[in-house]
Structure 1
Amino acid sequence: MIRRVRPVRVRDAAAACALGAVLTACGAPDAPHAVRPAPSAASAAPSGPPTLAPGPTGLTPVFKNGPRTQGRTVALTFDADMTADQGARAAAGERFDNPELIATLRTLKVPATVFMTGRWADEYPAQARSIGRDPLFEIANHSYSHYSFTGNCYGLPTVSADRMRSDVERAYAAFRKAGVPDAMPYFRFPGGCYDRQALKALAATGVTAVQWDVVSGDAFATDADAVARQVLEGVRPGSVVVMHCTRSAAPATERAVRQIVPELRKQGYRFVKVSQLIGATRGRQ
């Protein structure tokens, strides 16, 4: 379930960042990232996707945005949200996918990172497979259940600490079952809510937690112009923009993207995937 956008209080002061919450063609085309994902979430080998090193206390590292001084790059990310208990709503006809959005990204040749729940992959395996096998995109982990990893996170059900790791691993299993060959070792907390306990619980998976610095405001929005304005006003070099690939809960996203992409290209921005921003950041460490 996606909630309306409002600020999130991140409980881990050491990793605190200004978050928005969400819940659940001009110029030359941007070339897809050449590096293919590693086969395992725990893989951090140099030949695999770039990840950030754990902190000195061994906690899962948190990534918010890329370098501000290495050119005008921006990563559009899309959360494919579906909570574990929403099967009945899907069976009744509610659409948690957005194939028109994916088609528009392909038409505009925009690389993007899709943070997908395992439940979404179970519901739409053909779409998950198509996205995961398209070099324009990369699939990352948004949990299996879309339950919160902290308490008091936009009314989401909560996953217990002893099941956090298995929830993430179950999502990767769902991707493999759907035919996604190489999901990335990146994880986005449902609602953007996390604390020290959650970062500790996921450390063994080897993922880098990915947040954002630009909130699109597309959750439940019907005004595509307003969504586009919010993104265009917030983007800076190295930004990570959070949007949604959930038709019923973010119906204006595809129309907003058709405004955002040409305008940012006109401003000299180049669209990249999260892996490229993390790689650029790691290169400066």
Structure 2
Amino acid sequence: MITLVRRAAALCALGAALAACGTTGTEQTPHSAPSAPAPSPSSSAMPTLAPGPAGLTPVFEHGPRTDGTKGGAREGKPVALTFDADMTADQGPRAAAGERFDNPRLIETLRRLKVPATVFMTGRWAEEYPDEARSIGRDPRFEIANHSYSHYAYTDDCYGLPTVSEGRMRADLERAYSAFEKAGVPNPMPYFRFPGGCYDEAALKELSATGVTAVQWDVVSGDAFATDADAVTRQVLDGVRPGSVVVMHCTRSAAPVTEEAVRAVVPELRRRGYRFVRVSELIGAANGRG
């Protein structure tokens, strides 16, 4: 479950979508961090993974491949649906012009279907939609984790995304937590998802002092910029195994068929004996500390 690789594997479709979430293709510097950024949340009561070799930030891709049996009782095979709430630091003008980076209908569907989920949120998204961020964060069915403030890449050559310099990576992560705090999000999780899924050893080293666990995935839904909900549904159903982490998106303009796909995926996975959990439960089951 802990993998230290030069670059996380990502499918081309996801990469293209993440590149489209960038701006003009020219590198830009994120807005300056606050003079006293909020620290990463304490992981003392939240499952995290122990640091990797040389103290590097640990990376989690999926939970144990268990059959869902505990103490002789059948509980269901665990699977975590995760949703990236993407918005880059300089997309405010697009939002002001009417582009929607949120997806309230998706969140309502998850609630109606009683599906717990983990939302990896950028700080810029929380600033744009503070009421929604607060509502998601206060719902015990969900947990909010960090997807950076800027949604700028933490490595070079990450699908055309602008990059954050090594010296500003920690400030960018901490600024997201500051945005969550300002929006009224209680207890964001000490989990971090790299923009674009791109990271290297230098990025893992820069974030090691924050105490976060980096969370990747083992199932790419293909929902980014997809127009065929059935294709997204098939890709998820074909890829899920016990302990899987599925990456999807909570962005109407960039992932317009996600809600429809979720309505098909959820009952079918339940029929197959799966139960939906948050990432924290998978990390806890992987013998994480906390």
Shift of 1:283: 5.7
Equivalent of residue 223 in structure 1, options 222, 228, 253? 228
3-state secondary structure, aligned to 1:282: coil
Matches within 5 A, 1:139-218: 139-218=144-223
> Relative to structure 1, is the Cα distance of residues 55 and 283 closer, same or farther in structure 2, using a 3 angstrom cutoff?
closer
Shift of 1:70: 4.8
Q: Which residue of 2 aligns with 1:52?
A: 49
Equivalent of residue 19 in structure 1, options 10, 14, 26? 10
Bigger drift between 274-283 and 258-267 goes to 274-283
- TM-score under structure 1 length normalisation: 0.87
Matches within 5 A, 1:89-108: 89-108=94-113
Q: How many residues are matched?
A: 257
Could you tell me which amino acid in structure 1 is paired with residue 212 of structure 2?
Answer: V
- TM-score under structure 2 length normalisation: 0.85
Structure 1 stretches of 5 or more lacking a match?
1-11, 25-38
Identity percentage of aligned residues: 76
In 2, Cα distance between equivalents of 1:151 and 1:16:
11
Equivalent residues of 1:42, 1:204 under 8 A apart: no
Q: Which residue of 1 aligns with 2:255?
A: 250
Structure 2 stretches of 5 or more lacking a match?
22-37, 69-76
Shift of 1:44: 2.7
In 2, Cα distance between equivalents of 1:116 and 1:189:
11
In 1, Cα distance between equivalents of 2:124 and 2:283:
26
3-state secondary structure, aligned to 2:286: helix
In 1, Cα distance between equivalents of 2:39 and 2:78:
27
Q: Over aligned residue pairs, what C-alpha RMSD do you find? A: 1.7
Shift of 1:51: 0.2
Could you tell me which amino acid in structure 1 is paired with residue 10 of structure 2?
Answer: L
In 1, Cα distance between equivalents of 2:153 and 2:267:
35
In 2, Cα distance between equivalents of 1:184 and 1:216:
23
Could you tell me which amino acid in structure 1 is paired with residue 87 of structure 2?
Answer: M
